Structure 1
Amino acid sequence: MTLPVPTMAAPPVGVVGLGQLGGSLAAALVAAGREVRGWDVDPAAREAAAARGVTVTRELTGVVVLAVPLPAMATALDGVAADPAATVTDLGSVKGPVLASVGAALGGRFVGGHPMCGTERSGHDATDPTLFRGARWALCLEPGTELPRWLRAAEVALAAGAEVVPVTAAEHDDAVAAVSHVPHLLAAALAAAAGEAGPLALALAAGSFRDGTRVIGSDPAFVTAMVGGNAGPTAAALDRVRAQLERPWPELVAAGHAVRTTAPGRRAVRVPLDRAALLALGRTGGAVTRRLAAFVEGWVPQA
């Protein structure tokens, strides 16, 4: 059933955790004209956010964004005074465990999210207000998710410059295991193997090695929490990689090249505010780019 959602003034956004992702989001929203409040346990992060126009306070209302490490997600709201009516979303790289903890506590007012961006850097010094521009932002639409709250979270992502991909938590975790979590493990394996090859190999390393190992420059605790929190899908995706490596090398190279160099076009679509229709958009590889009164606009891939 399609549910009309009335147009309302954009609510304030409160960001818990003002490191790279949270600080970048807060800065992007300030630049977009949104009212932004934020809190971080680190005084230096609070000071940096205040300098960018964020109101530093524990009193958070509207849409509250949890931008803290995965192990801290379940207790992220303990240190702030969040409005009990606020919509709560997060930026965690794994959605199943967060849905089981934060989602179980908050019910339909929690909307799991994961922007597919970021770098190997971390902390408030890595803040970049353009970080989300053009990025895909997975936003979970579970059976119990309240659609008006999902739309509020989507508006935050769109205001930051991202494109919203409607997914379920399980679909998200399966997908990112293949395109994010396994690449971190492969980067670690490549770097470790090159280290075993000796100093000459490392001295000759150039662009392909740099690009192939970039992500493992991330904080090891972050990577470990990410892959450990999504262990089942990550193991399955890693098995698929192992199977690919068993193929004859010419076949493997050709198959990988074909996938990497395929650039499908885009076809514009308008989707009603309906859970099934929104999830169908995400499953085709499409995304939402604009919110309208009773629809969203977006695109789907076109060969």
Structure 2
Amino acid sequence: MTRLPVPTLPAPPVGVVGLGQLGGSLAAALVAAGREVTGWDVDPAARDAAAARGVRIGRDLGGVVVLAVPLPAMAGALEGLGVDPAATVTDLGSVKTPVLAELGPALGGRYVGGHPMCGTERSGHAATDPGLFTGARWALCLEPGTELPRWLRVAEVALDAGAEVVPATAAEHDDAVAAVSHVPHLLAAALAAAAGEAGPLALALAAGSFRDGTRVVASDPAFVTGMVQGNAGPTTAALSRVLGQLARPWPELVAAGHAVRAAAPAGRRPVRVPLDRTALLALGRAGGAVTGRLAAFVEGHLPGPG
């Protein structure tokens, strides 16, 4: 069993590349938590907004470097920047397997894939919110080649931002978010388009259920398209499962969906997990999350009564 050494050094600095909603919010949250943060964005307005929130602006980055850029820009995000060769690199992309395939060969165990499950339909630096990550689940990938001390350093960044860390592999992450994020974006688009075909009266009568079901349609279409196409295989499989459910008799479908929601465990059971890849992945697969560091262990919770 591989154990993580207990770090004795101070928390490393954090570099954030991309200062839009996610990157700008992360940089602001970390500054508020007392972390040393340097940020960069190609947009001068985004740089100015981050600087006003206490973020140091610069091209020289080290410690933990976070790529908060769109998926198509991920491969070239570090071009023209002075990145410490020893830095740990992570990202906030909504799909993990393609990013791992792009960055993994060059970065090896220095790369730790991440995806915070937060954000809104808004985008850009004007949507920055230092509280965006508070209580959010942040998937953090543990591949066979991931260097565990680096994984822990990225986990500490997520925890300092207020999130809870869910260990997973890239493939497990992509399968899971296809079901709970990517397909819902497609269903929201389909629901909105179908309601539009129903005419002005239908739209005028739309209330809470329609508003909740279509909220994410306001997201940038290019972002959503890149997300679902970047995770095409798992999203297609998840969408097929949804279509299979819709083919069921309606009373059965309604009852089945209600049963899933009703069976959700109430409460949280606190746990301590050793700093070991197998144990951490088991926590994530069971629906648990890491909430803090405790010597050679992490503390967290599993679903269920405390």
| TM-score of the two chains, using structure 1 as the length reference | 0.98
How far did 1:263 drift?
3.9
How far did 1:185 drift?
0.1
How far did 1:293 drift?
2.1
Q: Which structure 2 residue ranges, 5 or more long, are not aligned?
A: none
> Aligned partners of 2:219, 2:126: CA distance in 1, in Å?
14
> Aligned partners of 2:234, 2:256: CA distance in 1, in Å?
22
**Alignment-derived partner of residue 90 in structure 1:** 91
**Alignment-derived partner of residue 280 in structure 1:** 282
**Alignment-derived partner of residue 293 in structure 2:** 291
Q: Give the counterpart letter for 2:221 in structure 1.
A: P
> Aligned partners of 2:36, 2:221: CA distance in 1, in Å?
34
Q: Give the counterpart letter for 2:184 in structure 1.
A: P
1:159-238 to 2 correspondence within 5 Å?
Answer: 159-238=160-239
Moved more, 250-259 or 23-32: 250-259
How far did 1:103 drift?
1.7
How far did 1:260 drift?
2.5
**Alignment-derived partner of residue 5 in structure 1:** 5
Moved more, 104-113 or 258-267: 258-267
Q: Give the counterpart letter for 2:19 in structure 1.
A: L
How far did 1:115 drift?
0.2
Secondary structure, in 3 states, of the residue corresponding to 1:299? strand
How far did 1:248 drift?
1.2
> Aligned partners of 1:226, 1:261: CA distance in 2, in Å?
30
> Aligned partners of 1:209, 1:260: CA distance in 2, in Å?
19
> Aligned partners of 1:137, 1:258: CA distance in 2, in Å?
27
Q: Which structure 1 residue ranges, 5 or more long, are not aligned?
A: none
How far did 1:206 drift?
1.3
Q: Give the counterpart letter for 2:190 in structure 1.
A: A
How far did 1:292 drift?
2.1
8 Å Cα contact 1:4-1:293 kept in structure 2: no
**Alignment-derived partner of residue 138 in structure 1:** 139
> Aligned partners of 1:11, 1:94: CA distance in 2, in Å?
26
**Alignment-derived partner of residue 34 in structure 2:** 33
> Aligned partners of 1:103, 1:255: CA distance in 2, in Å?
41
Moved more, 182-191 or 97-106: 97-106
**Number of aligned residues:** 303
> Aligned partners of 1:104, 1:223: CA distance in 2, in Å?
27
> Aligned partners of 1:214, 1:137: CA distance in 2, in Å?
22
State the Cα RMSD in Å: 0.9
In the TM superposition, what whole-angstrom CA distance separates every residue of 1:80-117 from its partner, at most 9, and x where no partner exists?
A: 11111000000000000000001221000000000000
> Aligned partners of 1:55, 1:15: CA distance in 2, in Å?
10
| TM-score of the two chains, using structure 2 as the length reference | 0.97
8 Å Cα contact 1:5-1:293 kept in structure 2: no
8 Å Cα contact 1:269-1:299 kept in structure 2: yes
Secondary structure, in 3 states, of the residue corresponding to 2:139? strand
> Aligned partners of 2:81, 2:131: CA distance in 1, in Å?
27
**Alignment-derived partner of residue 80 in structure 2:** 79
> Aligned partners of 2:157, 2:294: CA distance in 1, in Å?
14
Secondary structure, in 3 states, of the residue corresponding to 1:78? coil
Distance change (3 Å), C-alpha of 1:105 and 1:4: closer
The reply on whether 1:102 has 2:108 as its aligned counterpart is: no
Secondary structure, in 3 states, of the residue corresponding to 1:24? helix
How far did 1:258 drift?
2.2
> Aligned partners of 1:131, 1:241: CA distance in 2, in Å?
30
**Alignment-derived partner of residue 251 in structure 1:** 252
